[in-house]
Amino acid sequence: QVQIVESGGGLVQPGGNLNLYCVASGTINSLVAMAWYRQVPGKELEMVASITRYGTTAYGNSMKGRVSISIDSLKNTVYLQMNKLQPEDAAVYYCNANLWTGPSRADYWGQGTQVTVSS
């Protein structure tokens, strides 16, 4: 059993910052990578940032330059630092974890955390 739990979402004013956290727990043999996606109202699901267990990062275009992702592989925890948030960043942010569990490798998703940007 695997659980993916996000936290850190909430209300922030335009131009403000927010940090998101995600913890993967359960029967995990090996963590391959973790990533943050977002679903903006009226838009398709898009990748914000991803990181491998070794620290290799990749960023989507939507928030490139305004976010930084990091990982604690020992704790199976990923962090997302978001800066200069704008109303268009309001979305549900989802954590994804690509994991080996026994002989299988698969993606696991959290329930999402709401980020609201409003004055």
Q: And the tokens for 55?
A: 């620290």
Q: How many residues does the chain have?
A: 119
Alpha-carbon distance of 69 to 23, in angstroms, equals 14
pLDDT digits (tens, 9 = 90+) for 28-77: 999 999 999 999 888 899 999 999 999 999 999 989 899 999 999 889 99
Check residue 32 and give left, alpha or beta (phi > 0: left; psi -120 to 50: alpha): alpha
Please spell the DSSP secondary structure of 38-97, one letter per residue: EE-TTS--EEEEEEETT--EEE-SSSTTTEEEEEETTTTEEEEEE-S--GGG-EEEEEEE
pLDDT digits (tens, 9 = 90+) for 90-110: 999 999 999 999 899 999 999
Alpha-carbon distance of 23 to 114, in angstroms, equals 16
Asked if pLDDT for residue 11 goes beyond 90, the answer is yes
